[in-house]
Amino acid sequence: MSAALAFLFPGQGSQAVGMLRDLAQAHPLVGETFAEASEVLGRDLWRLVDEGPKEELDRTENTQPAMLAAGVAVWRVWQAAGGPEPQAVAGHSLGEYGALVAAGALSFVDAVAVVAERGRLMQAAVPPGAGAMAAIIGAADADVVALCEAQAQGEVLEAVNFNAPGQVVIAGARAAVERASEAAKDAGAKGVVALPVSVPAHSSLMRPAAERLAERLAGVALAAPQIPILHNASVAPEPDPVRMRELLVRQLYSPVRWVETVQRLAGEGAGLAIECGPGRVLTGLGKRIDKRFKTLPVFDPDTLATALEAANAA
């Protein structure tokens, strides 16, 4: 796999009321993409994204289809603008579904239906308020893993997102996450940030949701990707649709290995990556993981023009 240009799709946490508004005004494809998603969902997804309220957009079952549509909308605008095709794609957590659409492995309509169900299943797997997530800043990966083992005390508590050196997200039972957060501060972590999410994603508390997701994915058509996609659970491309389904199920209760993903892309020649969706979360992480890995966000006309110029000059 050669990855001179890579496309990265962000997941939950990058959403915001008003996201892609300027891009939508310049490119009707954005509105058309959200209209397509709205038809699948039976509700006006663009209105929620454009007007809020934030609390409703931040609900997992709404965030997931909204972020999927945002990533695919940017991808379609890029293609319509004549942007070069990437040699590899990857997505952070939920973003993996946007990467699958871009790679031609999953139709957008099917992806919208699947992620909406994925969000509902995740929301239903843990009672409201019973789970939590927090980012531990300034601690080594091994120290965070050991912290989780020490503070679990019979409850679920796991390191679930290896986002960048010195940034690891933990998830599990709320009380356990709170214990670990205090212990991390006492141990000298530079910071602990409680994440505003409604489910403890990628922890083993998501196994019931994963079992139901497997049933849902069994009826969804997947094809061999036309562009290699690095999966969260394996950090490797997978041409077999049967195996791809297994990786999507496993992803729900397994860590997001983002550091390894970026390192592999950089190691295989990716000199430029495009963050395909709102915000700059993956752009910031990429700088911290590998200085060789230049990432440019695309979420409005100006960032699109900058990224197109850089990609065409590469």
| Per-residue model confidence as pLDDT tens digits over 103-154 | 999 999 999 999 999 999 999 999 988 999 999 999 999 999 999 999 999 9
Q: Quick one: pLDDT band at residue 3, thresholds 50, 70, 90?
A: low
pLDDT category at 196 given cuts 50, 70, 90 is confident
Q: Residue 93 catalytic?
A: yes
The pLDDT > 70 percentage for the chain reads 99
Which entry of 27, 92, 202, 231 is annotated as an active-site residue?
202
Return mean pLDDT, the chain.
95
pLDDT digit string (tens) for 227-283? 999 999 999 999 999 999 999 999 999 999 999 999 999 999 988 999 999 999 999
* pLDDT surpassing 70 at residue 2: no
The pTM for the full model equals 0.95
- Give catalytic status of residue 27 as yes or no: no
Instruction: Please identify which of the residues 93, 181, 198, 254 carries the catalytic annotation.
Output: 93
DSSP the chain: ---SEEEEE--TT---TTTTHHHHHH-HHHHHHHHHHHHHHTS-HHHHHHH--HHHHTSHHHHHHHHHHHHHHHHHHHHHTTPPPPSEEEESTTHHHHHHHHTTSS-HHHHHHHHHHHHHHHHHHS-TTSEEEEEEES--HHHHHHHHHHH-TTS-EEEEEEEETTEEEEEEEHHHHHHHHHHHHHTT-SEEEE---SS-TTSGGGHHHHHHHHHHHHTS-----SS-EE-TTTSS----HHHHHHHHHHHTTS-B-HHHHHHHHHHTT--EEEEESSSSHHHHHHHHH-TT-EEEEESSHHHHHHHHHHHHH-
